[in-house]
Amino acid sequence: MDCSPKLPYGGNTWWYGYANGYPNAGSGIVFNYTENMLLNMLQWAKSAFPIDPDRVSVAGGSMGATGALSFGLRHPDLFAAISATVPQVNPGLEGIGWSQSQLTHIWGSVQDNLPTNDGAGVWDRQNTTAYVADNCCDLPFIKVQNSKNDETLPWFQVPQFYKNLNANRHGFMAAWGQGGHVSSSTGLPSEFVNWDIYNKHRRNQSYPAISNSSVNDDPGNGDPINGDSIGQMNAGYDWRIISDTEDKWAADIKYTVAGRSPTADVSARRLQNFSFAAGQRLAYSLTDTATGQAITSGYVTAERNRFFTVADLPFDNNYRTLTIRKVSGQSIADVIALPEGSEVDVDEVIVTATFEDVCYGCASNRIPAIAILGASDLAPGNVIRLRGVKKTHCGVAAVDISAGSISVHGNCALRPFGLTRPFFGVGKPLELGLLTKVWGVVRDILPGGFELDAGLRVTVFGDCAADAEIGSYVSVSGICSELPSGSDYGIRMSDPTGVIYYQGSPNP
């Protein structure tokens, strides 16, 4: 089958269409005849061959690249991705050259800007640079390359197209070099050339749109000698989608160029299930994929329905997991004020200690504390979302998760509160439930613990160091808790390593 944009009286439609008065194109309406031909051919191919409709991409070079962009961007429901090699992106620009002269014979003059069958002026409609600036919807991922020394479709039209894609946070990677129109791939960065757009992208799968990568090169202002002679924008990132549910989106992302650790802004495009409204607050976390160790976290506000951006995230050559989730806005302080039996949904809790009967957690700034009932498989340092029912445990506000849930978002280092003069022995401590650290001298050995002189007498109990000796100078990290008798308070330990002996002690 011969598929061509050529016309019987000379010229080409550039894969769009021509005026209904052609070959007299001075008036009338420009219809998308060629585009309709392509739509019908695509429908026929899907019915005639075992094609996966979610793996269909559109690609082209030169005039074909121009058509691939125009066609693919206007029909995002049909395509997974677009690959465009040396496209024209704004045919109506003054000085664009021969292509504009050819198009005036089928579209009419730029000044007349004849209407298309969908209402827009044809030269406006075919201005892809403006389209990606004005259109915020999810588009197929774009891989596009050009040459600064292209004498067929000149470079000066290109940089603004790249910049508009980046500013509007569309999913794309771009590259440019000195290969000319025919050999535009010559010398392009390998991280761009090696990106397999056809096997990576699916129409029914979300993807992270990278923007403002700190290792982007500068395409310049349109003058071929301005900016970097060879370069790329937003290339070099690889990813795999981990979750796209009603409440959460997550992806493992890494930078593939060895030895470089850039930062970048990340948005999620083509979300399948994760749904939220403009203005809604979302929590994000970036963790080391291999270890779960927290790298950074925070909150963003959705810019519009189903669209967010997390700015300035650090990446390296190892996968890092970016997780975005809906938040309730409820804090541990809010839970403390709730009556027992109330439903609880706390966005972020850091697990500080785990015991057989209870776990403890705190807010990111270490206060206040909360007890967690019915949990298993938690570890100190876990960063969790906590959902359940409000209870009280040994004087501490608690959440019973037997009818709720916990999801772990990452890990972080624990920072106990240092108490130079504990408030034990003078009523209920303000630090009850918190991970605290005290210093002092062991004054007495007790069953299952010892007594510490830290300005006031402090009882240390639980899984603490059994080898403590009277006179040892130690620091102790544990949970400020009721004693088993319920008559007083002390430090409950879940880990013997929480006792540190200092030089000069009997047990250094």
Tell me whether residue 151 is exposed, middle or buried, using C-beta atoms within 10 angstroms of its C-beta: 0 to 12, 13 to 18, 19 or more: exposed
In this prediction, residues 224-235 reach a mean pLDDT of 98
Does residue 276 surpass a pLDDT of 90?
yes
Rounded CA gap, 147 and 245, in Å? 41
Q: What is the pLDDT of residue 328?
A: 82
Rounded CA gap, 164 and 104, in Å? 26
For 396-429, the pLDDT digits (tens) are 999 999 866 777 877 888 888 887 666 555 667 7
Does residue 160 surpass a pLDDT of 80?
yes
- 462 — pLDDT class (breaks 50, 70, 90): confident
Is residue 285 within 8 Å of 299, Cβ to Cβ?
no
For 316-331, the pLDDT digits (tens) are 999 999 999 888 888 8
Is residue 436 within 8 Å of 478, Cβ to Cβ?
yes
Q: What is the pLDDT of residue 420?
A: 62
- 467 — pLDDT class (breaks 50, 70, 90): low
Does residue 90 surpass a pLDDT of 60?
yes
Instruction: Delineate the domains of the chain, giving CATH numbers in brackets.
Output: 236-327 (2.60.40), 332-411 (2.40.50.200), 417-501 (2.40.50.140)
For 170-182, the pLDDT digits (tens) are 999 999 999 999 9
Q: In what order do the strands lie in the sheet with 58-61?
A: 58-61, 81-85, 141-147, 172-177, 231-233
- 130 — pLDDT class (breaks 50, 70, 90): very high
Does residue 1 surpass a pLDDT of 50?
no
In this prediction, residues 484-491 reach a mean pLDDT of 84
Integer CA distances (angstroms), 105 to 7, 19, 94, 180, 434, in order: 11, 9, 16, 27, 78
DSSP secondary structure string, 2-36?
A: ----B-TTS-B-TTT-EETTTT--SSS-EE-HHHH
In this prediction, residues 181-194 reach a mean pLDDT of 97
Rounded CA gap, 166 and 390, in Å? 46
Tokens read off for 151: 């004498």
Q: What is the pLDDT of residue 96?
A: 95
Is residue 375 within 8 Å of 362, Cβ to Cβ?
no
Is residue 59 within 8 Å of 82, Cβ to Cβ?
yes
For 434-460, the pLDDT digits (tens) are 999 988 899 998 888 888 887 778 888
Tokens read off for 362: 């705190």
Q: What is the pLDDT of residue 508?
A: 41
Does residue 135 surpass a pLDDT of 60?
yes
Does residue 26 surpass a pLDDT of 90?
no
Does residue 213 surpass a pLDDT of 80?
yes
Mean of all residue pLDDT scores within the chain: 91
Rounded CA gap, 58 and 85, in Å? 12
For 99-121, the pLDDT digits (tens) are 999 999 999 999 999 999 999 99
Please list, in sequence order, all residues whose beta carbon lies within 8 angstroms of the beta carbon of residue 337, skipping any fewer than 6 positions away.
none
Q: What is the pLDDT of residue 299?
A: 87
For 251-264, the pLDDT digits (tens) are 999 999 999 999 99
Angle at 168 between CA 163 and CA 169, to 5 degrees: 95
In this prediction, residues 391-397 reach a mean pLDDT of 92
- 38 — pLDDT class (breaks 50, 70, 90): very high
81-85 and 58-61 as β-strands: parallel, antiparallel, unpaired? parallel
In this prediction, residues 186-198 reach a mean pLDDT of 96
Q: Residue 206: phi, psi to the nearest 5? A: -70, 165
Angle at which helices 63-74 and 33-48 cross, to 10°: 80
In this prediction, residues 64-72 reach a mean pLDDT of 97
